[in-house]
Amino acid sequence: MPRKSMKRKTRTKGRVTIFVDGASMFYAQRDNKWHIDYKRVYQYFARGKELAGAYYFTGTPHFEDTERIRAYRMFKKALIYIGYTVIDKEIKVIIDRQTKEKIIKGNLDVEITLHMITSMDSYDEAVLLGGDSDFVPVIQHLRTNGKKVICVGRKESTALELLNATNLFIDLNQIRDKIEKIRKGSS
């Protein structure tokens, strides 16, 4: 009779995919006055689960902004190294005809929604870092199809409709100690 292996299998609590709305998190960091460490986010939400995917959606700086492009490329490289798939597109600069004010648009809501739906067979739980009410229909669709949806953002800037649609809302400040970027030389 063959001997059974004594190796203990690690049980996971399901499969999770992380979706980061980069623009939303940019403004959340600015308003909170602290920075998110996306490696710590990755580790925090994957803890005890099988990580099915991690996506970071963002607008790239305008081609004329060489300094920001250089910084963005370093950030993108770091995200990819951590394990994120980065989906980006160049921002659009629109000039308001009346005020002559520059309006910067880098909307990626459709791309986020598309990835949430097309990859839904690969996960049981979706973690959305973002607070836009445009995501309510996709969240409702995911929940109707048996998925758990967690939304992470600033409570002050997250749409009430989104708070109502998710299984769970986590305010960034509630998990700050777990996901904040620790600056070198800080104690």
171, 154 contact by CB (below 8 A): yes
Q: What angle do CA 107, 62, 151 make, to 5 degrees?
A: 30
127, 18 contact by CB (below 8 A): yes
32, 154 contact by CB (below 8 A): yes
Non-local CB neighbours of 140 within 8 Å, separated by 6+ positions: 165
Q: Domain 15-147+163-179: give its CATH code.
A: 3.40.50.1010
Q: What digits encode the pLDDT tens for the residues 43-84? A: 999 999 999 999 999 988 777 778 888 888 999 999 999 999
Mode of pairing for the β-strands spanning 85-90 and 148-153: unpaired
Please give the model's pTM, rounded to 2 decimal places: 0.86
Q: What is the domain partition of the chain in residue ranges?
A: 15-147+163-179
Q: At residue 93, what is the residue type?
A: V
Which has the higher per-residue pLDDT, 71 or 6?
71
How far are the Cα atoms of 37, 75, 171 from residue 175, in angstroms, in the given order?
Answer: 12, 22, 7
The answer on pLDDT for 8 being more than 70 is no
Distance (Å, whole) CA 174 – CA 66: 36
CA dihedral 95, 30, 90, 62 (to 10 degrees): 60
Q: What is the mean pLDDT of residues 156-166?
A: 93
Distance (Å, whole) CA 22 – CA 167: 22
Q: What is the DSSP letter of 13?
A: S
